[in-house]
Amino acid sequence: MFTPGPTEVHPRVLQAMARPLQNPDLDPDFYSFYDSLCEKIKKIMKTDNDVILHSGEAIIGLEAAVASLVSPDEKVLTIASGIYGEGFANFVQMYGGKPVIVKFPYDEIVKPEEVERALEKEKNIEVATMVHCETPSGTLNPLKEIGKICNEYGIILVTDAVSSVAGVPVETDKWHVDINIVGSQKCISAPPGIGIISVSKKAWEKMERRDQKSRIKSFYLNLLSWKRDWFQNRIFPYTHAASLLYALDEACQIILEEKIEKVYERHQKVANSVRQAVKAMGLELYPKEEDYCSDTVTAIKIPKGIEDEKLRNHILQKYGVMIAGNWGDLRGKVIRLGHMGYNAYPHKAIHAIFALSESLKDLGFKTSTEDAVKTIKEHL
Ligand SMILES: Cc1ncc(COP(=O)(O)O)c(C=O)c1O
């Protein structure tokens, strides 16, 4: 499963899911477990902000952030360089807000100076949204720089760091990210089903103000119910998916045992070697510049004469490797290798590169698997 989430998971994580079930609403031991899990998550996200573990999956965090923060007719700066960045604008519209979109091509990254220009021009903006790693395009946006600008303008920054946290450096607090959203099934390599959301004081205050003006129009996605029930009264707003949290806890434990800086190094090394091997195969990376690439996923242009689904089925059936296709405008044009979390290991990357090269050859593309495998090994 060399896909950009869900990833493969460590056997320890699978075992954790088989742990005897506690009653998450009533068992005091579950409360202590939950507190300690949140502390681990905070270390990984580099934050002292409140952390919510929301049943559902990552997208629930994006929608909940918008539902809870944005008032009807409120302008929101939506910074978009890909499919998920644009998706934020849809959520803003869905909840009655007015997205002011600062748009960049999918194969490029966000330019901080354009974001600053937009903020200078547009007055009355309190909230901005952006995506750190645009998983479909395999790009990594300059979150640190955007966070600095938003902070200078007093803007609340909502970030989708779904496929970057625990793969590449993310400093939630130092980079002024007010709401940061992470997926359990991406670089953390736990099963899908939990959306991880950190919320700053500034973001809570905005939600309180906004709720007084016009009530938040959701029950499940209203983050304020977490503030009022959990953070103020230690009552969970609904029953937790306990088994998924046991798995998430073990996955976080594994990351902390390895040490987060080492985890980043492993990702960087595997990602770079995958990129070099892909180029040695005669393929082209999708991002315009190699510098734009995320170290968690590699997006590759499908070469002429090769059909997307045929290639992915072939590689799975003949070589037992699953790679990812794409969405929207990138569907049929760009495939992806997901080297995040428990996937970011040399033996898995070599296997995937071998399988991709052999499959391309099987389907008539001229390439040398020997060169590809030699290149990846040289860089690992
Ligand atoms: C950048 C990004 N944001 C959000 C999501 C949505 O995550 P989920 O499928 O867990 O809802 C994904 C999933 O691929 C993603 O890559």
Q: Please tell me the distance from the alpha carbon of residue 94 to that of residue 72, in angstroms, as a whole number.
A: 10
With a 6 Å cutoff on the Cβ, whether 249 touches ligand 1 is no
Q: Which two tokens stand for residue 42?
A: 């905070």
Ligand 1 center to 340 CA (angstroms): 13
Ligand 1 center to 369 CA (angstroms): 32
> In the chain, what are the domains?
11-256 (3.40.640.10), 260-379 (3.90.1150.10)
Per-residue pLDDT tens listing for the chain (380 residues): 999 999 999 999 999 999 999 999 999 999 999 999 999 999 999 999 999 999 998 999 999 999 999 999 999 999 999 999 999 999 999 999 999 999 999 999 999 999 999 999 998 999 999 999 999 999 999 999 999 999 999 999 999 999 999 999 999 999 999 999 999 999 999 999 999 999 999 999 999 999 888 889 999 999 999 999 999 999 999 999 999 999 999 999 999 999 999 999 999 999 999 999 999 999 999 999 999 999 999 999 999 999 999 999 999 999 999 999 999 999 999 999 999 999 999 999 999 999 999 999 999 999 999 999 999 999 99
With a 6 Å cutoff on the Cβ, whether 130 touches ligand 1 is no
- pLDDT (tens digit, 9 = 90+) per residue, 253-266? 999 999 999 999 99
How many Cβ atoms sit within 10 Å of the Cβ of residue 73? Answer: 9
pLDDT of residue 214: 86
Q: Are 161 and 143 in contact (CB under 8 A)?
A: yes
Nearest alpha-carbon partner for 7 in 230, 251, 302: 251
Q: What is the DSSP string of 136-188?
A: TTTEE--HHHHHHHHHHTTPEEEEE-TTTTTTS---TTTTT-SEEEEETTTTT
- pLDDT (tens digit, 9 = 90+) per residue, 154-188? 999 999 999 999 999 999 999 999 999 999 999 99
Mutate to test the pocket of ligand 1, among 7, 163, 188 (most ligand atoms within 8 A of CB): 163
Q: Please tell me the distance from the alpha carbon of residue 161 to that of residue 164, in angstroms, as a whole number.
A: 5
With a 6 Å cutoff on the Cβ, whether 325 touches ligand 1 is no
Identify residue 281 by its one-letter amino acid code. Answer: M
Supply the pTM of this predicted model.
0.97
8-state DSSP, 285: B
Contacts of 166 (CB under 8 A, 6+ apart): 44, 182, 186, 187, 188, 255, 260, 263, 341
